Amino acid sequence: MSTAESQLPQTGILGWIERTGNKLPDPVFIFFWLIAVLVVISVIADLMGLSAPHPTRVDESGAAVIITAESLLSANNIQRLWVDMPQTFTHFHPLGYVLVVMLGAGIAERSGLFATAMRGAVRNAPKFLLTPMVALVAMVGNLAADAAYVVLIPLAGVLYAAAGRHPVAGIAAAFAGVSGGFSANLLPGQLDALLFGITEAAAESLAPAWDANIAGNWYFIAAMTVIYLPVIWYVTDRIIEPRLGSFQAEGSLASITEDGDKPLDAGEKKGLKLAGLAALAIIIAWIGFTIGPGTPLIDETASPEARMRPFYRSLVAGFFILFVACGWAYGSATGTVKNHRDIVKMMTDAMGDLAYYMVLAFAAAHFVAMFNWSELGLIFAIGGADALQSANLPMPILLGLLVLFSGAINLLVGSASAKWALLAPVMVPMMMLLNVSPEMTTAAYRVGDSATNIITPLMVYFPLILTFAQRWQKDFGLGSLTATMIPYSIWLLITGLIMTMLWIALGLPLGPGTSVGYTLPGG
């Protein structure tokens, strides 16, 4: 621990958040404890005869089917738990999506494509455009997952210093883009696959035929990127950098600046060119699969709104192929990929990085499944929907409250997937009953989850960002980083909140084939 950090008094709300968060168990065991609590609640609810009328199912007489709470200690549910444990884990929707996308992304990351693309995108930016370029690449860099944190954020500090600007301002702008704009992007990616897998599991409690569309928030997250860009630009150049003052790199820091600002070499340039050609080829191929009658990714026999469903569901495979082709093309040019064995090793290493996620997914899968077995999620959703209907709040206000709630809970539970696995089983069906689509509920959650990432010390990369900043300014402590990021968090939350409320008020499409509203089948 640095001297500056050790001298910070752990007082106030930030001190309380840090102390409280440090006392929390690992998210894996949080899910196990929640399962234990869920079992107790299910037994009590069963004894009390807790029930609710299903909104769409009717019996032979035409009356609504009554959903009753089930004890998780019943013989049937105990049998399910032990007998179906392998299926419960392997059928967890996010698991397959994430594993497939990450197989490809691992090649693009380990071949050096992601790092070189980010460096090439920002190093030649004019001084006055440096902040928006860094912010844009940071948000798009979310496709590279950890690489955006590890590569782009320290690089931004180097680039700012080379431009005669304060390097901590560059680190702050990149951190705000990568983490504060965590859900903003020009393309769907790993996060979309992960979150929509959880959304699908939650939505199926009401609509078993509902299928996740990885592009379901595409227009929304692209709009976030466009809207967040000037916000990060303004906060960095008008608020943060003036507070930091001037900076002059000396000694070893001057050499770091010179080394980090090196231009791309011939191999890297050739690799990027080949990766671009590979991406173009994949895009053309996917267009070919969807244009014209009889193509494999269009269901000509389905209803008009369902014709494109095969295409939407193919996007997970599409991103896998895209990342593999681009990473392989780049690696072949630069020498990081010499033969097919290197590709296999990169895929293997990528799966190794997901070891912790696999353990977390095992716990989350059983929590979600057991929540569904108990019928409590559906009963709470019906009750919550009735309460919200009687409150007669406008839909934009409801979604705005969801944004604020997810932003608040993010201060104590850092993982986006862990929080959504907890919230989705209730929030998604409840909003569906209020005619809000699962895609819109997911989008609102993402806004709140992103905005407060950058101000909680519980965020896993927070100590790393602090280390990057202390490289340039030794006395830059935990309080300094938090104070630097709070303006970003406030402005991103306000902007995202307004955007969400306007989006649902105007009824804009969220992505290809997805909308704000939703009507239950038979409802």
Distance CA 328, CA 279 (A): 11
State the DSSP H helix or E strand holding residue 68, giving kind and residue range, or none if neither.
strand 64-68
Token pair of 99 as six digits: 């594993």
Q: Are 508 and 399 in contact (CB under 8 A)?
A: no
- 20-24, 183-187, 189-193, 392-396: which is most confident: 183-187
Counting every residue written for the chain, the total comes to: 523
User: DSSP secondary-structure letter at 511?
Assistant: B
Q: Mean pLDDT in the chain?
A: 82
pTM, two decimals, is 0.67
Q: Are 453 and 459 in contact (CB under 8 A)?
A: yes
Residues 92-100 have a mean pLDDT of 74
Tens of pLDDT, residue by residue over 324-376, are: 999 999 999 999 999 999 999 999 998 887 787 788 789 888 988 898 899 88
Distance CA 312, CA 305 (A): 12
Quickly state the pLDDT bin for 414 (edges 50, 70, 90).
Answer: low
pLDDT number for residue 229: 96
Distance CA 467, CA 474 (A): 9
As a three-state string, the secondary structure of 359-402 is HHHHHHHHHHHHHHHHCHHHHHHHHHHHHHHHHCCCHHHHHHHH
Residues 36-59 have a mean pLDDT of 87
Quickly state the pLDDT bin for 3 (edges 50, 70, 90).
Answer: very low
Token pair of 241 as six digits: 């950098």
Residues 184-196 have a mean pLDDT of 84
Distance CA 178, CA 172 (A): 10
Separation in Å, CA 115 to CA 112, 137, 176, 180:
5, 11, 18, 20
Residue 4 above 50 pLDDT? no
Token pair of 69 as six digits: 């709470």
Distance CA 18, CA 5 (A): 13
Count other C-beta atoms under 10 Å from residue 243's C-beta: 12
Tens of pLDDT, residue by residue over 129-175, are: 889 999 998 998 777 655 667 667 877 887 788 777 888 999 999 99
Distance CA 208, CA 432 (A): 13
Tens of pLDDT, residue by residue over 467-514, are: 778 878 887 776 778 788 989 999 999 999 999 999 988 999 999 889
Residue 449 above 70 pLDDT? yes
Tens of pLDDT, residue by residue over 194-234, are: 788 889 988 988 888 888 888 899 999 999 999 999 999 99
More confident site: 326 or 380 = 326
Token pair of 483 as six digits: 């104070």
Radius of gyration of the chain from its Cα atoms, rounded to whole angstroms? 24
pLDDT number for residue 52: 83
Quickly state the pLDDT bin for 95 (edges 50, 70, 90).
Answer: confident
Residues 30-47 have a mean pLDDT of 92
pLDDT number for residue 1: 34
Residue 260 above 80 pLDDT? no
Distance CA 269, CA 374 (A): 56
For the chain, the structural domain boundaries read: 27-40+66-506
Residue 12 above 60 pLDDT? no
User: DSSP secondary-structure letter at 2?
Assistant: -
Quickly state the pLDDT bin for 18 (edges 50, 70, 90).
Answer: very low
Separation in Å, CA 452 to CA 221, 311, 353, 409, 498:
17, 34, 25, 9, 16
pLDDT number for residue 350: 86
